[in-house]
Amino acid sequence: MFKADRGWRIGTTEAGYSTLSPRLRSVSMRRRCKDRRKEPTFRGKRCAAMTDPELRAQSFEIAWRYLDQSGLLTGEHKDSARFILNRIDRMMLRGERRRLLLSNAAIDAYRLRPVLVSA
- For 58-117, how does the pLDDT look when each residue is reduced to its tens digit (9 = 90+)? 999 999 999 999 999 988 999 999 999 999 999 999 999 999 999 999 999 999 998 776
Residues 23 and 66 in one domain: no
- Rounded to whole angstroms, the Cα distance separating 102 from 88 reads 6
In a domain, 118, yes or no: no
Domain that holds residue 61: 52-112
DSSP assignment letter at 113:
S
Backbone angles phi, psi at 40, to 5 degrees: -75, 145
41 beta partners: 46
**Domain tally for the chain?**
2
Residue 78 shares a structural domain with residue 107:
yes
* Pair 39, 79 in one domain: no
Residue at 58 is within a domain: yes
Q: Cα(23)–Cα(26) distance, rounded to whole angstroms? A: 5
**This model's pTM is above 0.75:** no
Q: What is the CA radius of gyration of the chain?
A: 21
In-domain check, residue 74: yes
